[in-house]
Each structure stands twice: as structure tokens, then as C-alpha cells.
Amino acid sequence: MKTYNFPFRKLLLILICLLLLTGCWNSRELDELGIVVTLGIDKTDEGDYILSVQVINPSEIATDAPTSRPPVSTYTTTGRTLMEAFRRLTAKNPRTTYLSQLRLVILGKTVAEEGVMPVLDLLYRDHEFRTSFYVTVAKNAPVESMLSIITPYEKIPANKIMSSIENVERHWAATKGVSIDKVIASIRNPGEDPVMSGILLLGEEDIGTNISNVENVDAPTKLEIDEIGVFKGDKLVGWLNELESQGLNYATGNVHSTVITHPCQDEGSLSVELLRTSGAMKGKIKNNQPVIDIKVEAEGNVGEVDCKVDLSKPEALEKVNKQAEKAIKESIEATLAKAQKEYGSDVFGFGGVIHRDQPKYWKKVEKEWSSYYQDVEVNIDATVKIRRKGNSTQPINKES
Amino acid sequence: MDNQTISARQYMFLVIFFIIGSSILIVPTPLAAQGKQDAWMSVILSILFGVVLVMFLNKIGSLSSGKTFVQAAIFVFGNWAGRLFCIFYLSFLYILASLVLRNIGDFMTTQIIPETPLQFTHTLFLLVIIGGTYLGIEAIARSSEIFMPWMVILLIFLTISMMPQINVDQLKPILGNGVLPVINSSSIVIGTPLLEMAALLMIFPYVKEERKAKHAWILGTIIGGGVLFLITTLCLLVLGSDLTALNAYPTYRIGQKINIAGFLEGLEIIIAIIWMLTIFFKLIILYYATSVGIAQFLTMKDHRPLLLPLGMGMVVLSIIAYPDVAYFETFVGEVWLSYSLTHGLILPAILMIGLLIKKRVSGS
């Protein structure tokens, strides 16, 4: 092999490196980015989109000596599409929006009731969005005001809401954090309807937007995670309350840990702490009608006792088991009454269960599933096993 | 061309990279669109087809006794007819190479650097390819040995970190739409990349021991197909068939979903590294095959003077090859299978018949 000996070969190489190593074409420095943590989306009466973005104020987050400036700023604008609104934001926001760190999307009530599919397209198509954010619905206030509240404890409100959702899911099971791909998949699936967490604004909005809101120990204005919003297709049709939300999570196997309280025989009540639960659904056909069997299995401890019961006897614990089972059944039944009978929304994914277990039958009913859905017969079977009762062997108020 | 040789193991690595490269990007979407939740079965079907195909290509390799596809074609069909035959084969390789280049360019532009013009991505990528091809097949094969562990580690990492998000229900009902969609959609993997393996006939003669090379080829096809199977199944298990079909790059999407203990997030670029590596090898194999093929076609002693001009042509061809991604999707869906079938199966079959006749004539 002949080597070509060119004069200044090394110099040429260095020059080429200089050209290539200057950096990325698309490079954007951190101090040019407006890092968006929350997006609020709603619709005006004319049908335009209202887009609110909450960007973090990095110097305020990172500093050791906080100033009186708020840790986040919110900008709002409108547009015929979301994309247009995003670009129009440049007129207000000095930095270009950077969306990869997005934590939370709050959809306004109007947009949720008119259908969320159109707004999800951009969030799924654009390359800057990851899928690791939660999609939620603003329950009782306009989205812009939700995004203007300064929250205590967590400087960035989006982080507060996100960790609240996760905590509620993990310890109380009364909500469900859903990511965008879950929402899109369940809207597109004829055998399932989506749900989303709701967000509540408590207190006066005017106080909440001011930094003095967090100067109080008990902040007067707060954001709270509400229960679950029920959709039919991509339209919001109603809300589940606490009990019904737990029922939904029991049936879909989404309960990590929760508490069941039931009254005692004479007075007082007893709380059971569930530590492990599993929920499974099976589809059958009976008399040419779809039937769903829900099976919930749970394991737990006696958590708190305020009644006269002899906990040293196995029969007593057996009785607690039975009552907890009954409570789980009741909560699932409550959910069924609301979601299935009242709203006609397949939040459990019964259609998907039938599709998986009875594909032939599903082929026939797929097109008009929503008319079959309300007549689906559901059998619930719950088993609870209490294993331990904590540090005390007996209720402390037991007389004897 | 030059007297370089590679070992059977290196050849197997090249086959694996060749199969994974670019298919890992573009195959899961149409597979899930057609095969739905049974798409994984059609990958298995197509691997079976791939093994049969490789046995057939192996046969050609041993019949042409140390000659590359181009040399064998000229040897069998004579100077003029043989060269006409080769024009089809070489143009197939060249067009395929520019499409592969465009695949990586499109991906980079869609997902990572949307404002950088395609020419620059393509030129930079090709510069490395030209550098590698200049050094010859030995250097290419050795670098495949260096990079194979990386790809394996990254794949294992991806699989393990996706485990918590797997939902087995996404694969049910098994065969819910019958067997037909499974068979139909297996044609996707057969078109890209299995039939493209005819390009490897340009490298096959460089492998030291022919008998081992045959085994390596079959094993490489099974392993490469296995990786495609793994990736497709992961997409289905995590995203479900509907979202896999909706995403342009579903493997990248599952990379975005990696979340280890809440702080290791945004690792999708790791997936992109697998693609870059595999596409690099696929492209370099195709590029080497094309340039060596053209050199043999022109009876040149050295393929190296061809590298730069071919590269300039390829940057242009890759950009004008298709105007937009919708055109590409239609092209891959409707045209590609018949194109790769004629050039990846029928051309080699004609060559094989020619070789057999020639052998009989000279033998008697």
C-alpha cells in the first residue's frame, strides 16, 4: 500500500479537527433554556388553545441565599394549535422552552370535556417530549391559576404534585398517575377507557400566586391531588370519589398499600393496613353474554384498634379478614355502579380482558362494545389475610 | 482484492451487525402494524426462512470457489453478459447503502438534531466509513470484534431495565387474528434485512476456512434474527402493538421509558448507540462490497481510488433517494420486497444455475 506524503499533513489534520470539534449545530446552552416543568392546556370559548407553561428559575433553585423572586414563572398565550401557541410564547418568554424535563401536564376542564386527543398529538409527536410525565385534569379552577400557585415545602410545584401523586398511589391507592402513552393507548383501544388524576386548588387564588403564601407555616392556598377523573373515549364524563377510586385500583391490581377501616361490633373502629395486594380479571362467556371475574388477594396487618375485641383469638382475626374482604368488595361494587352503570366508561378495561381471553367473541362485539359493556356481569372475589398485629398483642383499651 | 483474510468468528460478527443494522430502527413499526400482538412470531418465521436462504447462499459461495459474486458472474457469463449481470447487483448494493445512510440521517434529524441539515450528518458518517473501507476488510472485521461486546452489554442493559415495565397481557390473545397476518408480516423481516444478505457474497471469499464460514453465517443469522426478535418483543411487551405501530422509532421510545430508581432516566441515547454501531457496520459492509465490486468490474488492482467519488455520489443519492418519510414508508411497504427479492434471491439463483452448468461442462 502506497502512502501519500503530503506536505503539512499534520497541520491539515489539525485544521480539520478544528472544524469538526467546534460543537453541535443544534447546541443550546443551559443559560439559554427555559426549562419547562408543567404545561397547562385549555380552550377558549372560540375554540383556540390556551397554553400555560411553568418554567423554573434556575438561579433561584440553585442558590443558597434565596431572594424574593419566585422559583418558577408562568407564561400564558393562545393559539389555534398548541404548536402555534408554543412559538407565540417566544414573545413573552425570554428563553426558548425546553421540554425534556417536563413533569406534569394539567388539562383544563373545557379541553377535557371536549376531547383530549387533539392536544396529545403534539406531546407524543415532538421529539423534545419524553413520556415520563403525568397527565392530569384541573378539577375546580382554570389551568392558568393552578400554574400560578406557589407551593410550600417543594420549591417547584410540579415536583410537589408529581410526588404527591406517587405517594397517594403507593400508600393510599386513591388515585392513579398515568403517563401519556397509557392515555393514548387506552383511548385508541376500543376495550378500555382512560382515567386521570384530578388536581384541586384549595384556598384563595390571589393569595396563592404571591410568594407570601409560603411564608406561612400553614400555607393558605394549596394544590391537592383529587381522586380519579373518568373518561369515555377521550372526553371527561365524571369523577370517582375516594372509595370508588380505590375500588378501581383494587380491581386493576394497582394497589400497593392502603388502609381499610370498618366499624367494630359495638363501638369504635378498626383499621387494617394492606401491604401486598394483587388484582386479576378473567373473561368468560355465559349464555352468550360476557362475564368478568375479578379476583383480589391481599395481605396485611392490624393497624389500629379502637374497640373491644380479643385479638389473641384466631376467630377474631378471621372476622377482621371477612370484614376487610367485604370492604374491598363494596368499594369495587361502588366503582362499578358509577363507572359502568352511570357513566358507561370502561375504566377497568373489561373489553381488553374479553379480547385477551375470548378473542372469538370479541371479534363479534368489538364494534359495539360500549352497548354490551353496561350489561357485563361481574363477579368479585376478595381474599384478605391478616398476618400480624404490630407491637401490641391486645387493644390498649381492652377491659379485663 | 488484496490478500486480506478474516476469521470465521469475525465473519459471524459482521453477519450479526449486518442483520441488526437499520432493521432494528425500521422493522418493529410495520411488523406491529401488520402482525399486531403476534408480530414476534413472524420474526421467528422469518429467521427460519433466513436459515434456508443462508444455506442457499452458502452453496453459491462454495460453488464459486474463492471468487466474489462479481468475479464469479464474469467468470460464468463472460465479459459482456457477466458485466451486465453485475450492474444490477452492484446498483442494488449502492442504492441499499444510500438508503441505510438515509435511515440513520432521518433518525438523527427526527430525534436528536432536528436543525442540522442531512448533508452534514451524512458526510460525517460517511467519512468514517470511507476511512474504514480504506483500511480494508481485516480492519473492519477486527473493529467488529471490539464493538460486539459493547452492543451485547447495551442490549442486556436495555432488556433488564425494561423488565419492570413489561406487561405480558400485551401479547394476548395469541394468534387472535389467525395465522395469516403472521405469515404476511414475516415478509417484512425477509425483505429487510434477510434478502439483503446477498451483499455478503462479496465478503464470503475472504473468510479463511470455508466450512467454518458456512456455519458462522448460519449462526450469525440466527443470533442477529434473535436480537430483532428480542427488540420487537420488548416493544410489544412494553408499548403494546398499537403504540408500537404508532411510533416511528418504537425502540427509542422504550429507551425513554427506562427509569431506574427514579434517578437514572433519559437513557434513550444508549439505544441510539446500539443503532449507530450496527448501522455503521452494515453501511461499511455494503460500502466495501460496492467499491470492491466496482473495482473488480473494472478490473482495477485497487479499490481505494474509488472510495471518495463513490462517497460523494452516495451523499447526493441518499438525499434525493426519497423526498419525504411518507414516500419512504410507501416504498418500503410496497416496493422493497419485490426489489430485494429480484436482486437478493433471483440474481443469486441465476448465478448458481450458471455455476452448476459451468461446473458440469468443464467437468465432462
pLDDT tens, residue by residue, A178-201:
999 899 999 999 889 999 999 999
Question: Which residues 23-52 of A are in CB contact (within 8 Å) with B?
Answer: 24-26
Nearest to B113 among A24, A100, A352 (CB): A24
User: From the candidates A127, A170, A361, which should be mutated to test the interface with B, based on the most B CB atoms within 10 A?
Assistant: A127
Inspect the interface and report whether the beta carbons of B173 and A356 lie closer than 8 Å.
yes
Inspect the interface and report whether the beta carbons of A355 and B266 lie closer than 8 Å.
no
Question: Which residues 75-114 of A are in CB contact (within 8 Å) with B?
Answer: 100
Residue A287 pLDDT exceeds 70: yes
β-bridge mates for residue A238, sequence order: A230
Q: Are strands A289-305 and A377-388 parallel, antiparallel or unpaired?
A: parallel
What is the length of chain B?
364
Q: Which helix (H) or strand (E) holds B167?
A: none
Evaluate the CA torsion angle B216, B217, B222, B225 in order and state its sign. positive
Calculate mean pLDDT across residues B88-107: 93
pLDDT of residue B295: 94
Confidence of residue A2 (pLDDT cuts 50, 70, 90): low
pLDDT of residue A366: 87
Percent of chain A with pLDDT over 90: 39
* Chain B residue nearest residue A183, CA to CA: B243
Cβ count within 10 A of residue A341: 10
Inspect the interface and report whether the beta carbons of B240 and A185 lie closer than 8 Å.
yes
pLDDT tens for residues B5-36? 899 999 999 999 999 988 988 899 999 999 88
Report the C-alpha gap between B176 and B179 in whole angstroms: 9
CA A4 vs CA A1, A7, A11, A315: distances in Å: 10, 10, 15, 94
β-bridge mates for residue A42, sequence order: A50
Return the residue matching grid coordinates 407551593.
A151
Inspect the interface and report whether the beta carbons of B172 and A357 lie closer than 8 Å.
yes
E-state strands within chain A: 33-43, 49-56, 72-79, 96-98, 104-107, 134-138, 195-202, 222-232, 235-239, 258-263, 269-286, 289-305, 377-388
pLDDT of residue A81: 92
DSSP for A322-348?
HHHHHHHHHHHHHHIIIIIIII---TT
- What is the pLDDT of chain B when averaged over all its residues? 90
Chain A: give the shortest CA distance to residue B114, in Å: 8
B124 at the A interface (CB within 8 A)?
yes
Of the candidates A173, A354, A134, the one whose C-alpha atom is nearest the C-alpha of residue A254 is A173
pLDDT of residue A198: 92
Upper half-sphere CA count for residue B159 (Cβ side, 13 Å)? 13
β-bridge mates for residue B82, sequence order: none
Backbone angles phi, psi at A233, to 5 degrees: 65, -125
Percent of chain B with pLDDT over 70: 99
Nearest to B243 among A132, A184, A357 (CB): A184
Question: Quick one: cell of B198?
Answer: 446477498
Calculate mean pLDDT across residues B301-311: 92
Contact residues for A28 (Cβ-Cβ < 8 A; gap 6+): A96, A98
Backbone angles phi, psi at B101, to 5 degrees: -60, -40
- Helix/strand/coil (H/E/C) assignment for every residue in B65-98: CCCCHHHHHHHHHCHHHHHHHHHHHHHHHHHHHH
pLDDT of residue A157: 87
pLDDT of residue A58: 81
B263 at the A interface (CB within 8 A)?
no
B94 close to B248: Cβ distance less than 8 angstroms: no
Report the C-alpha gap between B69 and B195 in whole angstroms: 15
Confidence of residue B132 (pLDDT cuts 50, 70, 90): very high
pLDDT of residue A226: 82
Upper half-sphere CA count for residue A180 (Cβ side, 13 Å)? 26
pLDDT of residue A49: 93
DSSP for A202-217?
ES-HHHHTSGGGGGSS
Confidence of residue B153 (pLDDT cuts 50, 70, 90): very high
pLDDT of residue A82: 92
B33 at the A interface (CB within 8 A)?
no
Inspect the interface and report whether the beta carbons of B243 and A355 lie closer than 8 Å.
no
Question: Which residues 306-365 of A are in CB contact (within 8 Å) with B?
Answer: 352, 355-357, 359, 362
Inspect the interface and report whether the beta carbons of B120 and A25 lie closer than 8 Å.
yes
Specify the pTM.
Answer: 0.89
Q: Tell me the residue type at B248.
A: A
Calculate mean pLDDT across residues A246-257: 91
Chain B: give the shortest CA distance to residue A20, in Å: 9
Chain A: give the shortest CA distance to residue B163, in Å: 17
In CATH, what number does B8-359 get?
Answer: 1.20.1740.10
pLDDT tens for residues A380-393? 999 999 888 888 88
DSSP for B133-153?
HHH-HHHHHHHHHHHHHHHHH
pLDDT of residue A23: 65
Tell me the chain B residues in contact with residue A127 when contact means C-beta distances shorter than 8 Å. 110-112, 114
B36 at the A interface (CB within 8 A)?
no
Report the C-alpha gap between B239 and B246 in whole angstroms: 10
pLDDT of residue A398: 62
Report the C-alpha gap between A174 and B208 in whole angstroms: 66
DSSP for B317-354?
HHHHS-SSHHHHHHIIIIIHHHHHHIIIIIHHHHHHHH
Q: Which helix (H) or strand (E) holds B265?
A: strand B264-265
Tell me the chain A residues in contact with residue B110 when contact means C-beta distances shorter than 8 Å. 127
Calculate mean pLDDT across residues B205-219: 92
Residue B293 pLDDT exceeds 90: yes
B246 at the A interface (CB within 8 A)?
yes
Question: Quick one: cell of A334?
Answer: 361502588
Calculate mean pLDDT across residues B138-149: 94
B257 at the A interface (CB within 8 A)?
yes
Chain B: give the shortest CA distance to residue A390, in Å: 29
pLDDT of residue A34: 87
* Chain B residue nearest residue A19, CA to CA: B124
Tell me the chain A residues in contact with residue B243 when contact means C-beta distances shorter than 8 Å. 181, 184-185
pLDDT tens for residues A72-107? 889 999 999 999 999 999 898 888 888 988 999 999
Question: Quick one: cell of A325?
Answer: 374482604
Inspect the interface and report whether the beta carbons of B116 and A352 lie closer than 8 Å.
no
A163 at the B interface (CB within 8 A)?
no
Return the residue matching grid coordinates 472510495.
B307
pLDDT of residue B177: 81
Residue A143 pLDDT exceeds 80: yes
B110 at the A interface (CB within 8 A)?
yes
B107 close to B278: Cβ distance less than 8 angstroms: no
Higher pLDDT, B203 or A216: B203
Calculate mean pLDDT across residues A282-292: 90
Tell me the chain B residues in contact with residue A185 when contact means C-beta distances shorter than 8 Å. 239-240, 242-243
* Chain B residue nearest residue A162, CA to CA: B262
Report the C-alpha gap between A249 and A366 in whole angstroms: 25
Residue B64 pLDDT exceeds 90: no
Inspect the interface and report whether the beta carbons of A127 and B113 lie closer than 8 Å.
no
Confidence of residue A127 (pLDDT cuts 50, 70, 90): confident
Higher pLDDT, B298 or B265: B298
pLDDT of residue A6: 63
**Angle at which helices B268-297 and B69-77 pack, to 10 degrees?**
30
Q: Are strands A377-388 and A269-286 parallel, antiparallel or unpaired?
A: unpaired
A68 at the B interface (CB within 8 A)?
no
pLDDT of residue B2: 59
Residue B364 pLDDT exceeds 80: no
Return the residue matching grid coordinates 422493522.
B27
pLDDT of residue B334: 86
Looking at this predicted complex, what is its ipTM?
0.84
Question: Quick one: cell of B76?
Answer: 460464468
B120 at the A interface (CB within 8 A)?
yes
Inspect the interface and report whether the beta carbons of A181 and B253 lie closer than 8 Å.
yes
- Beta-carbon contacts below 8 Å between A and B: 55
What is chain A's percent helix, strand, coil content, to nearest 5?
35, 30, 35
Calculate mean pLDDT across residues B63-70: 88
Higher pLDDT, A78 or A370: A78
User: From the candidates B3, B110, B113, which should be mutated to test the interface with A, based on the most A CB atoms within 10 A?
Assistant: B113
Residue A267 pLDDT exceeds 70: yes
Inspect the interface and report whether the beta carbons of A352 and B111 lie closer than 8 Å.
no
Tell me the chain A residues in contact with residue B115 when contact means C-beta distances shorter than 8 Å. 25-26
pLDDT of residue A5: 62
Give the distance between the most distant pair of CA atoms in chain B.
74
Tell me the chain A residues in contact with residue B161 when contact means C-beta distances shorter than 8 Å. none
Domains and CATH numbers, chain A: 29-239 (no CATH), 242-400 (3.30.300.210)
Question: Quick one: cell of B2?
Answer: 488484496
Give the full edge-to-edge strand order of the sheet including A269-286.
A258-263, A269-286, A289-305, A377-388
Residue A281 pLDDT exceeds 70: yes
Inspect the interface and report whether the beta carbons of B110 and A127 lie closer than 8 Å.
yes
